[in-house]
Structure 1
Amino acid sequence: MNIVIVDDNLVNVALLRGLVRQIEGAQSVEFTDPRAGLEHVLRTDVDLLIVDYQMPELDGLDFVRILRSDTSKQDLPVLMVTADHEMELRHRALQLGANDFLTKPVDRVEFQARTRNMLALRRSQRALSERAVSLATEVALATDAIVARELDTILRLSKAAEYRDPETGAHVMRMAHYARLIALQLGLPEAEQELLLHAAPMHDIGKVGTPDHILLKPGRLSPEELVIMRQHARIGHDILADSASPYLQAAAMIALHHHERWDGQGYPLGLAGEAISLWGRIVAVADVFDALSSERPYKAAWTLEAARDFLLEHAGAHFDPRCVQAFVEAWDQVLEVRQRFQDEPPPPAESTLMELL
């Protein structure tokens, strides 16, 4: 246990040092200059401070007042050395944060008893602090595990929705990372970028409620079929909206808003401009870009440059211009995401399967 003794009297310092040496497991550092002692205590891990009241330039009361103004020293046990008759002084010292007192002349038995009590208090403080850190670490690990399982479930549900759609599982990963790039360029906080990354893959979860003959139709949809198809935005919102998960709450908003248009001509609500949630506006850009630049059974893939030009051409009409500009400014990173999450090759044709058999 590390004890600091601050007293301008060399005789007193020698006495107190000798008494500390009689306490097992204790060692002391002594200062006759109170300012040097204060600086040492403020920057060092100390278990007990023994400080005299009567010192030049900086007395014991000012010493304790300055010490307690440092939040990291609020719990440091302090023994103040005073004369027996200085009761008013003791009251002021207690108010400033002193814990106990030694009376001049210092008695060996009293010193050891009070010092041992203060060191026992310090050990208890350290044990509680270490336990609190341990519990906080355990809680953090448990929380991380819960969040990891939640995110894994979200991703698997997203992929499950994509299996009913001509789109691929790689699509949801690309568009989610595109969305994060846009959020980064717009200066959104990192926590919101992460939230968007994990929520965006759920944007089309409502397609689980779309009939196969409409969802998988290779040609253009009739007006009646288009009405049914567009219901997936509201269905997705209704599936996710009542969740307590912040990821699913964000995903519900994205599902509802990602087909809205900047000019108000989108669906399902016909919102315009900033009435559309920022998450919805971001995902609209990311989703359309990846849909255009990806091959589907009913269309060939556009070049990346052509898909980018489409976004620029329709900025201010279909898309939020700021989101389009943010996407274009991150073009090098867009290409990296495209390379990282590539579509799996299509399954072999029936004739090829027969040859394999």
Structure 2
Amino acid sequence: MNREIIVKSGSDIRILIVDDVSENIQVAMNILKEDSYTFSFATDGQEALNLIVSGGFDLILLDIMMPKLNGFDVCRRLKKIEHAKHTPVIFLTAKADADSIAEGFEAGGVDYITKPFHANELLSRVKTHIELSQSRTFLQKYADEVETKAKLQAQRLADEIEKNQCEMIYILMEVMESTSDETGQHIKRVAEMSRLLASYVPSLSESDINSVFLASPMHDIGKIAIPKEILHKPGKLTEEEMTVMKTHAEKGYELLKNSKRRLSTAASIIAKEHHEKWDGTGYPLGLKGEEIHIYGRIVALADVFDALTHKRQYKNAWTIDDAITYIKDNSGKHFDPALVDILIDHLPEFLDIMKQ
């Protein structure tokens, strides 16, 4: 007897019949053949599991009393096979006692037919459970498609929201350029250097790196609220003027704090904390060490390094060597030592950003 028999060409419903008596298998096939199924069969439990592991079936007719493995154990084991765990199992057996029937359902069977059975009973139950299985498969596929579409729609919405946030940031960058001595090129360099620093921080995800890059241009947005005579003063600020200037960190935070969007939240953190110092002597809160958000620590280093190496109204540009010496001297004081190490170790990449 072949292990697989195609009763009619074109049949795509596969039924596995498991019974240690070949005549019982033949009887079941003779009854079911009029519904155009493809049959496979096994004469013991282990052989049945081997067939199940190697291929998929739409229904399994399973005897209980068999050599090697009984039907209950076969059913329990196939429920642990990922591609077979939802395959309907009908017990087809001479064991008609209540305990056996209960154990059959407990093992995972969907139906229990006792021998001898009527041909119409077998045909009807097999057809019913195949239709139920196909309906479940269809519904699961439909649910998966709906979930996929919903995820795509949600992603498109999230992308649109992020795009709008980016546009807002670019507009505010233009405002910054018009109200501050910080050029657009400074803002862009700080963004690129912040992204590069973030990319070498092991704890940061791609999302974090992107947030730092897109939100860092907002680090000094609070300066739009600083009086122009202080903001554009060519000489050194007085103590009182410096006190006013320092309020830009809190003012920037106040502008952005109410948004719950990812980029705006990141920007509010950066605006507030990029003047904090590792040793706790910074402002506005005097945060120390890792109390300072990693976003603020990153932008603090990128901002200072770029400011040192470029001309401002109140100073000339420093040489790269002098700037690096200053950064090293302030590692553990002003700057996060781990970030300073990243800057030093990858200095050529940061210098490339400055050249560009």
With normalisation by structure 2, the TM-score equals 0.82
C-alpha distance in 1 between matches for 2:125 and 2:27 = 16
For 2:221, the aligned partner's letter is: I
Alignment correspondent of 1:205: 221
Alignment correspondent of 2:203: 188
% identical aligned pairs: 34
For structure 1, which segment, 222-231 or 314-323, has the greater mean C-alpha deviation from structure 2 after superposition?
A: 222-231
For 2:116, the aligned partner's letter is: P
Alignment correspondent of 1:256: 272
Deviation at 1:82, TM superposition (A): 2.0
Deviation at 1:98, TM superposition (A): 1.1
Give the match's secondary structure for 1:4: strand
Counterparts of 1:15-164 in structure 2 under 5 Å?
Answer: 15-24=27-36, 26-42=37-53, 44-70=55-81, 73-83=84-94, 85-163=96-174, 164=176
Deviation at 1:259, TM superposition (A): 0.7
Assess, with a 3 A threshold, how the Cα gap between structure 1 residues 126 and 216 changes in structure 2: closer, same or farther: farther
Checking the alignment, whether the CA contact within 8 Å between 2:62 and 2:93 is kept in structure 1 is no
For structure 1, which segment, 131-140 or 169-178, has the greater mean C-alpha deviation from structure 2 after superposition?
A: 169-178
Deviation at 1:307, TM superposition (A): 4.0
Which residue of 332, 335, 351 maps to 1:319? 335
Alignment correspondent of 1:274: 290
Q: Are 2:26 and 1:11 equivalent residues in the alignment?
A: no
Assess, with a 3 A threshold, how the Cα gap between structure 1 residues 10 and 103 changes in structure 2: closer, same or farther: same
Deviation at 1:295, TM superposition (A): 5.6
Deviations 1:25-75 (A, max 9, x none): x43333334324324434644332222212211111111212223465443
For 1:313, the aligned partner's letter is: D
For 1:175, the aligned partner's letter is: V
Alignment correspondent of 2:182: 167
Give the match's secondary structure for 1:81: strand
C-alpha distance in 1 between matches for 2:167 and 2:288 = 32
Deviation at 1:234, TM superposition (A): 0.9
Assess, with a 3 A threshold, how the Cα gap between structure 1 residues 17 and 175 changes in structure 2: closer, same or farther: farther
Assess, with a 3 A threshold, how the Cα gap between structure 1 residues 21 and 270 changes in structure 2: closer, same or farther: same
Gaps in structure 1 of 5+ consecutive residues: 343-357
Give the match's secondary structure for 1:69: coil
C-alpha distance in 2 between matches for 1:338 and 1:46 = 64
Checking the alignment, whether the CA contact within 8 Å between 2:289 and 2:336 is kept in structure 1 is yes
The one of the two structures with greater contact order (alpha-carbon pairs below 8 A, sep at least 6) is 1
Gaps in structure 2 of 5+ consecutive residues: 1-12
Checking the alignment, whether the CA contact within 8 Å between 1:177 and 1:337 is kept in structure 2 is yes
For structure 1, which segment, 291-300 or 263-272, has the greater mean C-alpha deviation from structure 2 after superposition?
A: 291-300
For structure 1, which segment, 127-136 or 244-253, has the greater mean C-alpha deviation from structure 2 after superposition?
A: 244-253
Deviation at 1:22, TM superposition (A): 2.6
Checking the alignment, whether the CA contact within 8 Å between 2:278 and 2:335 is kept in structure 1 is yes
Deviation at 1:321, TM superposition (A): 0.4
Assess, with a 3 A threshold, how the Cα gap between structure 1 residues 168 and 8 changes in structure 2: closer, same or farther: farther
Checking the alignment, whether the CA contact within 8 Å between 1:205 and 1:236 is kept in structure 2 is yes
Assess, with a 3 A threshold, how the Cα gap between structure 1 residues 197 and 106 changes in structure 2: closer, same or farther: farther
For 1:133, the aligned partner's letter is: D
Checking the alignment, whether the CA contact within 8 Å between 2:169 and 2:215 is kept in structure 1 is no
Q: Are 2:248 and 1:247 equivalent residues in the alignment?
A: no
Checking the alignment, whether the CA contact within 8 Å between 1:5 and 1:51 is kept in structure 2 is yes
RMSD: 2.9
Question: How many correspondences in the alignment?
Answer: 339
Checking the alignment, whether the CA contact within 8 Å between 1:161 and 1:207 is kept in structure 2 is no
C-alpha distance in 2 between matches for 1:18 and 1:211 = 95
Checking the alignment, whether the CA contact within 8 Å between 1:264 and 1:270 is kept in structure 2 is yes
Assess, with a 3 A threshold, how the Cα gap between structure 1 residues 79 and 156 changes in structure 2: closer, same or farther: same
Assess, with a 3 A threshold, how the Cα gap between structure 1 residues 148 and 109 changes in structure 2: closer, same or farther: same
Q: Are 2:244 and 1:232 equivalent residues in the alignment?
A: no
Give the match's secondary structure for 2:278: coil
Checking the alignment, whether the CA contact within 8 Å between 1:158 and 1:172 is kept in structure 2 is no
Give the match's secondary structure for 1:22: helix
Give the match's secondary structure for 2:35: coil
Give the match's secondary structure for 1:319: coil
C-alpha distance in 2 between matches for 1:299 and 1:4 = 85
C-alpha distance in 2 between matches for 1:284 and 1:153 = 26
Checking the alignment, whether the CA contact within 8 Å between 1:34 and 1:58 is kept in structure 2 is yes
Deviation at 1:89, TM superposition (A): 1.1
Alignment correspondent of 2:4: none
C-alpha distance in 2 between matches for 1:43 and 1:318 = 64
C-alpha distance in 2 between matches for 1:175 and 1:6 = 71
Deviation at 1:91, TM superposition (A): 0.5
C-alpha distance in 2 between matches for 1:82 and 1:312 = 82
